[in-house]
Chain A
Amino acid sequence: MARRVLVLVGLLVAGCASTGQVSLGEVREFADASAKLGGYAELSRRYRDTYERELPYLSPQAERVARDTDARRRAVFDDFVAIQKTLVLYMQTLSLLAGDGRYDLSGRIDDLAGGLNAMTDSGLKQRHVAAYAGMTRLLTRVITSRYQNRSVDTMVRDGNADVQTLIDAMIVLTRIYEKANENEQKTVLGVFNAEIPMANRNADRMLVTLAKVHLQNKTAEYKLIDRRYKLAQQGLTKVALGHQKMRDNMDQLSSAETRHILAGYVSDLNLIRSALSGE
């Protein structure tokens, strides 16, 4: 009986070796890179805080309008961020589902084999061998690469339409943030551009110098932030295209061409992420 058990364990381990080479590496890397893509959350916060930055430059009348808009921005901020949270959670889970070690139970089966080895000379083997047989049935049903592929396939196929809708909304919102930021920039810099040339009396010199320094700093700040809107939009577009590509090629994920295309998106996303975090 003990020998039979060992033979069964051997067969099981060999079976794992032949079917366990799941290759969803590109899917996992793409989902990881998508989940880590920054920009949107930070730009959402910046948009929410527009009023605070503009406040020192506003007339009382403009301030009243700005305060009302501020309340409306804050009222929907959580909804804006929730879109991203849903997408990040989806991508993180997809990455786990496509994970390398997730379906590799060979270590556990080694444990089982070790335990069975220890049992070979004992008188208690019958009961545990029955437990082992049940376990084997369970394992053979689960640990196949087909199961993993099917799970990933279901997630990507069923999720694609909604993923595209959410990313589209994030891109549109980022464009609106960008427009609002441009309007804010003209508000802030515009005040200086009008006031500095008008202040040409000797008594104004120190004030003008300070204003010019402030203008320089603000100009540099807006120049840096301008780039981030474009980068965030590019990143989101890559995520949308990459997911669509996966959806369209679910049946041939292991083909060299599909893997190459997905690897290209991953590389682009990593470049965009480091550009966003490097500033």
Chain B
Amino acid sequence: MATTSHSNPEPVRDDANPTPPSTAPRQQAGSMLPNQPSTPDVVVTTAPPYTPPAAQQAVATVLNVDDASRANALSNMQYVVDVADSVVCVANDLHERILEEIASYNGRTMPDAQKALMRALTDDELLLRQYAHALYANAATFVIHDLAAPQHRLMALTTEAAEKIRHIGVISEVTGLVGGILLLVGSIARGQFSQVGAALEKIQGHNAALKTLKPGLPAKT
């Protein structure tokens, strides 16, 4: 794992790197397995291309501040994901070696000492996987970096649209309310009392609908 931290660029090391393991994977045990590549080789060969800060700055000049900052965050995110992938590769490789070693016994009972060794190596593999998890978690936090502004803008736009919808609703209900009042007044004036009940119902309905359309309430669906 120490090699992983060496391969990290300065800008992401503090945030992205978990504390190196206090117990490194057992090199002496690993060396007993045939053809196991050394950890530094695996990390170096799978390391991602790194965009120099100068190039990132060049891109930033043609973008606004938000975009530049976000592009930088996403670039860091991609770097951390690539490092995590490298750690997973090392763990996968270790796992393969463990399985090969176990398979080489071909059904014969493995000595307890050898079993203990295999379990210790499995623990190392799982520890590596946890470091990869830690890196993925860090990468994920880069993704939400600088997302507050786009979210606020979209919420403002949504609120504005909801207000338009509410406004239309109010006009619609007021129109209906006026119709109901006219019907009520007209019915009384003409002595058509049979229509009074219907008119009152209409007025009540539109009035209730108007109350639900007060500003600040969610848009009527």
Contacts and interface: CB of A to CB of B under 8 A. Distances in A.
A59 B102 contact: no
A108 B137 contact: no
Contact of B81 (A59, A87, A94, A179): A179
Given A72-B141, A105-B175, A190-B122, A115 B183 contact: yes
B136 A198 contact: no
Given A65-B130, A76-B140, A190-B95, A198 B176 contact: no
Contacts of A87: 154
Given A59-B126, A111-B202, A179 B175 contact: no
A201 B110 CA distance: 10
Contact of A190 (B84, B119, B125, B175): B125
A86 B18 CA distance: 32
Contact of B84 (A47, A121, A169, A179): A179
Contact of A115 (B91, B133, B181, B192): B181
B175 A135 contact: yes
A86 B88 CA distance: 34
Contacts of A109: 175
Q: How large is the interface on A (under 10, 10 to 19, 20 to 34, 35 or more residues)?
A: 35 or more
Interface in A96-138: 96-97, 102-103, 105, 107-124, 128, 131-132, 135, 138
A61 B20 CA distance: 12
A17 interface: no
A278 interface: no
A139 B151 contact: no
14 contacts: A62-B127, A72-B141, A73-B140, A89-B155, A93-B158, A97-B161, A97-B165, A102-B168, A112-B182, A115-B183, A132-B178, A179-B85, A187-B129, A190-B95
Interface of B: 18, 21-23, 70, 74, 77, 81, 84-85, 88, 91-92, 95, 98-99, 102-103, 107, 109-110, 115, 118-119, 122-123, 125-127, 129-134, 136-141, 143-144, 147, 150-151, 153-155, 157-158, 161-162, 164-165, 168, 171-176, 178-187, 189-190, 192, 195, 199, 202, 219, 221
Give the top 9 A-B pairs by smallest Cβ distance, nearest first. A118-B186, A115-B182, A111-B179, A122-B189, A162-B150, A112-B179, A119-B186, A65-B130, A115-B183
Given A66-B130, A69-B130, 6 more contacts: A65-B127, A69-B18, A93-B219, A115-B178, A118-B187, A191-B126
